[in-house]
Structure 1
Amino acid sequence: MTFTGAELDDLVEAYHTQGFVIVPNLIPPDLLPDLTTAADRVVDLARSGGWQQVRTVGKPFPPWNETDTDIWGVQNVMHPDLGERIFSEWYGSKDMLDVSARLMGVTVDDMQFELFNLLINPLHSSYALTWHRDTIKWAASPSEEAEALQIKHHGIQWNTALYDDDCLWAVPASHNRIRTEEERTAGETGGGGDVMPGAIKVELKKGETVFYNNNILHVGTYNPAVKRRTLHGSYGSAPPGDTSRAKGTLQHDIGYTMDPKFKDGLSEELQGMVDRLNAMQKLVEGQEVIYAQD
């Protein structure tokens, strides 16, 4: 799919105004069936214990206990040990990179490899994460929150639905302001999406992608009765020497990207993106990784 300049301008405006934007048809038609089949294979493997990099019910943020049996996510689906090259084809596909770069206001040559995971339905338990911003603690005071919101986070996050998906809730335009007292209180009560004033359900049809600023107030809900296979990832765009993305990225155990063999078979663009991530990893090597919600 090729977007006109006006269409891209509309996407950028919606993204920056609302904090998220839904884009259809980014998955090339010939990739969608193979992506879906590969996702099913990976989920079956993870549920059987054959892949232990998983997100477990009852814990919203890493580190997760890989011995728990009910899972709501599978981590690092581009890991070479999984052998699912189709995921790198999607992560590095032209339209995906072009739209992501435009939304971030950079070029593809500025982009950094980051996370690529899979969000799925648990088998046994309904589950909801807590309302959150990804890199700002819920307990932050209004002044701390205002200060944190001024920091450019040099990245973008996205969900791509392989089946219809209505699990994400978000508060539009909340990515660039502090919370109201009502929002702060609602987020402390727990529960699903409908407890938050102004929240909407982000409904994706199969093949649609939502791009969102991870400072938006959002929550994921998980229904064991509805099959979910949603690709979940991020790209960075930090300039050389900037390690601000390390905090939210390296906690997801992506050291496999340092193995030279990982880059074998990747496109030239993806190899450059991996090089930029690994340069950041080397800059923070030996430093303690601080989890976003600690």
Structure 2
Amino acid sequence: MPTPQEIKSSLHRDGFVVIPSVLSESELSALRAAATRTTARARSGAWPHIRTLGKQFPPWSAADIHKGIWGVQHLLHPDLPPDDAAVFTRSYFHPRILDTAALLIDGGGDGGGEEGGEGGGGGDQLVMELYNMLVRPDADYELRWHRDDVPPEATAEQEMSRLGRPAWHAQWNLALWDDESLVVVPGSHLRARTDAERAADPFARELPGQLVVRLRPGDVAFYNNNILHRGVYDSARERMTLHGSVGHAGGSKLRARNVLQHGVGEWVERCDFSVLEDGAQRARAEGMRQRLIKLGRESGDVGYSLKD
């Protein structure tokens, strides 16, 4: 198990860090069951919040379900069946996940704020953001190389302007089955693209220095969302990977577009976290929810970070 300093150092140096076995066997089993039911619901059309094949970035439309899906959106949505919603809620607000996120934001490992952050620590200024699931696609599917919040037409100077600013977030993939879908270029979150990377086909199978992030069930990979990365999804291989992010109140409008473009603001005010038995954990979750509501009210129409 890596130490806190090793986790921060790895994320800062490489742009990602893998932490093994963050879930107990019972937690993993409960999540697999909830994820299986939720994925089946999405494939049948009973859950409209999906990512459809042929479209990499939001917005997605439930009308395109006939094309197949590669993701399920909004695992914290209050309209999910209560039993499944409870399982996903407990996993998103899991102390090992949120404490690691707070460590990475607070410690600046992903470009986060000053040590201690606003209000005495990253942990007490966390903002609820996104919780989605990446699933086995209905046909083989690949994403193009991208950074989540830097458009491909950006100049080197524009890239460095964004990469040099605080990230104010922590993002993760938590695998429920073996997963080798995420491909990254380590260290690319610290620099502009090379001439070779700019000239490469957006779907290039190989870029110099790339690495496939391999996860076992229960492993979690935290990564900077502006690392140069892509996804490669095999329709013959089961996949259910929880894809989440949390922010920091200091991020303000810098994070608003990344988060609100997914439509979370449409239902966040109806969330009920009473399924969290621990009072302190429940209060933490409610504080995070209120900061997201505040972000939405202050940001207005944010548009979309990237377009297909």
TM-score where L is the length of structure 2? 0.88
Residue 99 (structure 2) pairs with residue 89 (structure 1): no
Report the AA paired with residue 94 of structure 1.
P
Report the AA paired with residue 12 of structure 1.
K
Residue 252 (structure 2) pairs with residue 254 (structure 1): no
**C-alpha distance in 1 between matches for 2:228 and 2:136:** 22
CA pair 260-190 structure 1, distance change in 2 beyond 3 A: closer
- What is the CA-CA distance between 1:170 and the residue it aligns to? 0.1
Equivalent residue in structure 1 for 2:246, among 230, 235, 238? 235
**CA RMSD after TM alignment:** 1.6
2:130–2:244: 8 Å Cα contact kept in structure 1?
Answer: yes
Three-state SS of the structure 1 residue aligned to 2:42 is: helix
**C-alpha distance in 1 between matches for 2:221 and 2:100:** 11
The structure that is helix-richer by fraction is: 2
- What is the CA-CA distance between 1:153 and the residue it aligns to? 2.1
**C-alpha distance in 2 between matches for 1:206 and 1:29:** 10
- Where structure 2 has 5 or more consecutive residues not aligned to the other structure, the ranges are 107-120, 277-281
- Where structure 1 has 5 or more consecutive residues not aligned to the other structure, the ranges are none
2:169–2:248: 8 Å Cα contact kept in structure 1?
Answer: yes
Equivalent residue in structure 1 for 2:196, among 179, 182, 193? 182
Equivalent residue in structure 2 for 1:142, among 150, 156, 161? 156
The alignment-based identity, stated in percent, is 39
**C-alpha distance in 2 between matches for 1:230 and 1:293:** 22
- What is the CA-CA distance between 1:260 and the residue it aligns to? 4.1
**C-alpha distance in 1 between matches for 2:88 and 2:260:** 20
1:135–1:292: 8 Å Cα contact kept in structure 2?
Answer: yes
Partner of 1:129: 143
Residue 172 (structure 2) pairs with residue 158 (structure 1): yes
Partner of 2:57: 61
Report the AA paired with residue 118 of structure 1.
M
Three-state SS of the structure 2 residue aligned to 1:276 is: helix
Residue 199 (structure 2) pairs with residue 203 (structure 1): no
**C-alpha distance in 2 between matches for 1:46 and 1:161:** 19
**C-alpha distance in 2 between matches for 1:245 and 1:45:** 30
Partner of 2:227: 216
1:238–1:245: 8 Å Cα contact kept in structure 2?
Answer: no
Residue 296 (structure 2) pairs with residue 281 (structure 1): yes
- What is the CA-CA distance between 1:171 and the residue it aligns to? 0.2
TM-score where L is the length of structure 1? 0.92
